Amino acid sequence: MDRESSDSGPLAGSRGDEPLVTPARGDEPLQEPLEAMAMAEPPSRAVRLYRTMQRWADAGWANSVVFGWGLAQATFVPGPVDLLFLPLALAKPQHAYRLAMVAAAGTILGSVGLYWTGTLAFAQLSGPMASWIGVGAAEMSRMQELLDQYGWLAILASTISPISTKVTSVASGAFAVPFVAFVAALSAGRLARVFAIAYLVQHGGARYVARWLKVPP
Residue type, 133: I
Q: Which helix (H) or strand (E) holds 207?
A: helix 206-213
3-state helix, strand, coil in the chain (%, to 5): 75, 0, 25
Query: What is the C-alpha separation between 83 and 171, in angstroms, rounded?
Result: 25
Residue 160 phi, psi (nearest 5): -130, 20
Each domain of the chain, given as residue ranges in start order, spans: 45-213
Residue 135: helix, strand or coil by DSSP? Answer: coil
**Cβ contacts of 120 within 8 Å, gap of 6 or more:** 173
Provide Rg for the chain, Cα atoms.
Answer: 33
Say which DSSP state 44 is in.
Answer: P
Overall pTM > 0.85: no
Structure confidence by residue, pLDDT tens digits, 146-199: 999 999 999 999 998 888 898 899 999 988 899 999 999 999 999 999 999 999
Structure confidence by residue, pLDDT tens digits, 78-108: 888 888 898 888 888 888 999 999 999 999 9
Residue 145 phi, psi (nearest 5): -65, -40
